[in-house]
């Protein structure tokens, strides 16, 4: 068996009493003694600290790194300003999504944060297609911390002026860091990339603030689900196009007109037959990933991609795929839960409004 990788904060998680679980090759904190609902509410009401050092951090260095990356993604990377970030997608020739990622303009090139489960794949993909044009530089020795919640700006006052999807380098609690106004919870907050050797010092200083407490992967998942945010491997995959996933906003006008990214013809010339939607099952039964969605006659017409309990709404929520004829909010659907149909309806996303700081 392959030994699990430990993040630079592993010892702190153990000392805090975290329940550790294998996750994409890492030994990661699932939850802490307070429980995942308390951690979820910590992020919604105060500030929660997440260790997300398993995410892939890398650099694309070279004079034309932005133009090079546009051959693999549909986003407007050349229009990305200094200190700005953008969410985009690696697409394939069939229009499917290889991964979703965050791109930042950095001196001499671009910074990328990719999903942990796709880090090796994405690095190889970049080297295979762009290796002769840019330098692909992984940063395995860096840690990544996410401070999420309405109190985050008070904890990091030196970065309180950063707008959502902006970043800059500076000292965070006395530790050199790349700090971005971003996250995966729908709340205001920051992600802090630091040298692995500095991670414990930064985490300790953040946790010393009375508004901050640890949160694990369980809370991170329930927060992103309430916010209607996609998880690669569940809501996105290699056979799902950006339009099917409700991510048409990631394809700006210039790139649609140029049609020079992988899968452009399939994506732009074929109206989607299905769409990702939000849904609310009635009652308390949770519709889990893979559950069938049934129409009024009881026939399977779609599936649940992500499902769970919403602490804010006090009941189950789900995202999944339905035929376009059934995606209007208010449409009644049924969830096949262990062979029994359970009623529910389509609702607008996000389930809980975003609280991003726009400046």
Provide the CATH number for the domain around residue 71. 3.30.1360.120
Residue that is last in its domain, among 217, 235, 265: 265
Over range 82-91, report the average pLDDT. Answer: 98
Question: C-alpha angle with apex 181: 109 to 316, nearest 5 degrees?
Answer: 120
Residue 332, beta-bridge partner list: 345
Q: Report pLDDT for 207.
A: 98
328, part of any domain: yes
Tally of domains in the chain? 2
Both 170 and 37 in one domain: the answer is yes
Strands (E), the chain: 19-23, 26-31, 47-51, 56-61, 85-91, 97-106, 109-114, 135-138, 142-148, 167-172, 175-180, 189-195, 212-214, 274-281, 292-294, 300-310, 315-323, 332-337, 340-347
Average pLDDT, the chain: 97
Whether 98 maps to a domain, the answer reads: yes
pLDDT for residue 74 is more than 70: yes
Note the pLDDT of residue 67. Answer: 98
Question: For the residues 194-207, what does the mean pLDDT come to?
Answer: 98
Q: Find the domain containing 337 and state its range.
A: 273-347
Res. 9: pLDDT tops 90: yes
Inter-axis angle of helices 217-226 and 36-45, nearest 10: 50
Task: Let me know if residue 355 belongs to a domain.
Answer: no
Pairing of strands 135-138, 56-61: antiparallel
Query: For residue 2, is pLDDT > 90?
Result: no
201 pLDDT higher than 80: yes
Question: How confident is the model over 1-30, as a mean pLDDT?
Answer: 96
Domain end (from 265, 291, 322)? 265
Examine the domain organization and report whether 112 and 200 are in the same domain: yes
Same domain, 185 and 163: yes
Domain match, 217 and 92 both:
yes
Which CATH number does the domain housing residue 329 bear?
2.40.30.110
Q: Is there a domain that residue 354 lies in?
A: no
Closest to 46 measured CA to CA, from 178, 151, 200: 151
Q: Read off the pLDDT of each residue in 273-301 and give the average, rounded to a whole number.
A: 96
**CA neighbor of 306 nearest in space, from 350, 250, 268:** 350
Q: How far apart are the C-alpha atoms of 48 and 275, rounded to whole Å? A: 32
Please report the pLDDT score of residue 1 as a whole number. 61
pLDDT of 318 higher than 70: yes
Mean pLDDT throughout 233-237? 98
Cα–Cα distance, 206 to 197 (Å, whole number): 16
Q: Is 330 exposed, middle or buried (0-12, 13-18, 19+ CB in 10 A)?
A: exposed
What tokens does 349 get? 């996303």
What are the backbone dihedrals phi and psi of residue 356, each rounded to the nearest 5 degrees, phi first?
Answer: -70, 150
Query: 303 falls in which pLDDT band (50, 70, 90)?
Result: very high
Assign 328 to helix, strand or coil: coil
Query: pLDDT value at position 190?
Result: 99
Domain edge (last residue) among 265, 289, 309: 265
Report yes or no on 356 lying in a domain.
no
pLDDT bin (cut points 50, 70, 90) of residue 359 is confident
Q: How many residues does the chain have?
A: 359
On whether both 196 and 315 belong to a single domain, the answer is no
For 279, residues 6+ apart whose C-beta sits below 8 A from its C-beta are 287, 293, 304, 317, 318, 319, 320, 333, 335, 344, 345, 346, 347
pLDDT in tens, 17-64: 999 999 999 999 999 999 999 999 999 999 999 999 999 999 999 999
| Model confidence pLDDT, tens digit, residues 141-187 | 999 999 999 999 999 999 999 999 999 999 999 999 999 999 999 99
């Amino acid at each position: 068996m392959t030994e699990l990788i430990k993040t630079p904060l592993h010892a702190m998680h153990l000392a805090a009493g975290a329940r550790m679980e294998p996750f994409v090759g890492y030994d990661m904190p699932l939850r802490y003694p307070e429980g995942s609902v308390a951690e979820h509410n910590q992020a919604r009401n105060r500030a929660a600290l997440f260790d997300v050092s398993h995410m892939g951090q890398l650099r694309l260095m070279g004079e034309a790194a932005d133009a090079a990356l546009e051959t693999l993604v549909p986003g407007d990377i050349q229009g990305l300003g200094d200190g700005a970030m953008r969410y985009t997608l690696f697409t394939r020739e069939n229009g499917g999504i290889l991964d979703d990622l965050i791109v930042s303009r950095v001196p001499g090139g671009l910074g990328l944060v990719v999903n942990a489960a796709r880090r090796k794949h994405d690095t190889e993909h970049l080297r295979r297609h762009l290796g002769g044009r840019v330098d692909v530089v992984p940063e395995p020795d860096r840690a990544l911390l996410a401070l999420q919640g309405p109190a985050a700006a008070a904890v990091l006052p030196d970065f309180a002026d950063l707008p959502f999807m902006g970043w800059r380098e500076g000292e965070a609690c006395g530790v050199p860091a790349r700090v971005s106004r971003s996250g995966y919870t729908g709340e205001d907050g920051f992600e802090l990339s630091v040298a692995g050797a500095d991670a414990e010092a930064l985490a300790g200083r953040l946790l010393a603030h009375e508004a901050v407490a640890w949160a694990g992967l369980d809370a991170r998942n329930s927060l992103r689900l309430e916010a209607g945010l996609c998880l690669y491997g569940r809501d996105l995959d290699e056979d799902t196009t950006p339009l099917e996933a409700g991510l048409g906003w990631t394809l700006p006008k210039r790139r649609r007109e140029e049609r020079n990214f992988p899968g452009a013809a399939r994506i732009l010339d074929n109206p989607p037959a299905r769409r990702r939607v939000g849904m609310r099952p009635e009652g308390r039964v949770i519709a889990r990933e893979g559950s069938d969605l049934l129409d009024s006659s009881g026939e399977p017409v779609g599936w649940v991609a992500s499902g769970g309990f919403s602490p804010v709404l006090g009941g189950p929520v789900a995202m999944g795929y339905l035929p376009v004829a059934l995606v209007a909010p208010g449409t009644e659907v049924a969830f096949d839960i262990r062979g029994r149909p359970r009623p529910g309806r389509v609702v607008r996303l996000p389930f809980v409004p975003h609280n991003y700081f726009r400046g």
